[in-house]
């Protein structure tokens, strides 16, 4: 399938194809943090993000969540529907961490009474600020679209939180995006990976996500590989191995 580069972002390239309704998303090994003020890269990051996103989109589709995902093309590339994106980043938080801890003065790790939904304006030059519905109305986003964004965030959380729980991972928070296809249907877009989610090991609290890069914790490549292993491995075998460690007195 012929490819034409139409966009290169901080962590992926997007290509047009000979089908006007189809795009290719190729994930890079590059990483940025703090609005691209910090940069780095590590081996197989693109593979992890593409393969994990493909698995998560397929799982969400099977659980009633519409997405732009079509198929995984190779280790670092997924094929998607072409969407017109809303200028909205949907953030769902189950545990206080990062900017929410700073905003509310909560200690990181504090469990929230209920998931908190944040809607941020997707604009790199402004730092993707947190806005309310009044701001988004001024930007031309309809109440119906905003309602869909919030409902989608809660639906995705309801599907993914138990999925990761079964794999020994606490889904602390995540960011998704929303777009509209040629028929006018809104659906999930972007990616689901350690770049866009906070994952903590349930037993140890070890961070298995991009915070290892942001905060210079080390072990970034290993953390991404571990998350990919847990997502692609059978949940029952993971529980069995964990049980075996417990019987041996722990790792």
- Answer whether 170's CB lies under 8 Å from 161's CB: no
Same domain, 13 and 117: no
Are 44 and 132 members of one domain?
no
238: phi then psi, degrees, rounded to nearest 5:
-65, -45
Examine residue 23 and state whether it is found in any structural domain, yes or no. yes
Helix, strand, coil shares of the chain as percentages rounded to 5?
Answer: 35, 35, 30
pLDDT tens digits, one per residue of 52-93: 999 999 999 999 999 999 999 999 999 999 999 999 999 999
- Predicted local confidence at residue 248, as pLDDT: 42
Residue 244 lies in a domain: no
Same domain, 132 and 10: no
Q: Which domain holds residue 206?
A: 84-218+232-239
Q: Answer yes or no: do 11 and 131 share one domain.
A: no
Angstrom distance (rounded) from CA 80 to CA 66: 12
Select from 81, 111, 128 the last residue of a domain.
81
* Residue 133 maps to a domain: yes
Kindly state whether residues 30 and 58 are assigned to the same domain.
yes
Distance CA 30, CA 241 (A): 33
pTM of the complete model: 0.89
Q: Does one domain contain both 101 and 74?
A: no
- How far, in Å, are 12, 110, 209, 210 from residue 218 at the CA level? 23, 24, 11, 11
Q: Residue 31 sits in a domain of what CATH number?
A: 3.30.200.20
Tokens of 79: 């094929």
The pLDDT score that the predictor gives to residue 234 is: 61
Shared domain for 100 and 44, answered yes or no, is no
| Strand locations in 34-132 (E) | 38-41, 69-74, 77-81, 84-95, 111-121, 130-131
pLDDT value, residue 247:
45
What pLDDT score does 196 carry? Answer: 96
pLDDT < 70 positions in the chain: 1-2, 36, 234-251
């Amino acid at each position: 399938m012929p490819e034409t580069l139409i966009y290169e972002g901080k962590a992926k390239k997007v290509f047009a194809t000979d089908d006007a309704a189809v795009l290719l998303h190729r994930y890079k090994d590059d990483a940025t943090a703090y609005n691209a003020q910090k940069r780095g890269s590590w081996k197989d990051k693109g593979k992890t993000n593409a393969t994990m996103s493909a698995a998560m989109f397929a799982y969400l589709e099977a659980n009633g969540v519409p997405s732009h995902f079509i198929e995984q093309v190779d280790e670092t590339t997924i094929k998607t529907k072409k969407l017109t994106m809303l200028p909205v980043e949907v953030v769902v938080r189950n545990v206080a961490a990062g900017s929410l801890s700073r905003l509310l003065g909560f200690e990181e790790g504090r469990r929230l009474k209920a998931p908190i939904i944040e809607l941020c304006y997707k604009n790199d030059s402004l730092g993707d600020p947190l806005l309310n519905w009044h701001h988004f109305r001024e930007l031309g986003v309809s109440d119906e679209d905003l309602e869909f964004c919030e409902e989608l965030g809660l639906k995705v959380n309801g599907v993914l939180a138990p999925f990761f729980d079964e794999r020994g991972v606490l889904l602390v928070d995540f960011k998704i995006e929303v777009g509209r296809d040629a028929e006018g249907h809104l659906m999930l877009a972007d990616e689901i990976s350690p770049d866009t989610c906070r994952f903590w090991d349930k037993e140890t609290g070890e961070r298995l996500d991009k915070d290892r890069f942001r905060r210079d914790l080390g072990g970034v490549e290993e953390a991404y590989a571990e998350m990919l292993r847990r997502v692609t491995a059978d949940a029952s075998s993971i529980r069995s191995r964990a049980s075996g460690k417990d019987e041996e007195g722990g790792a």
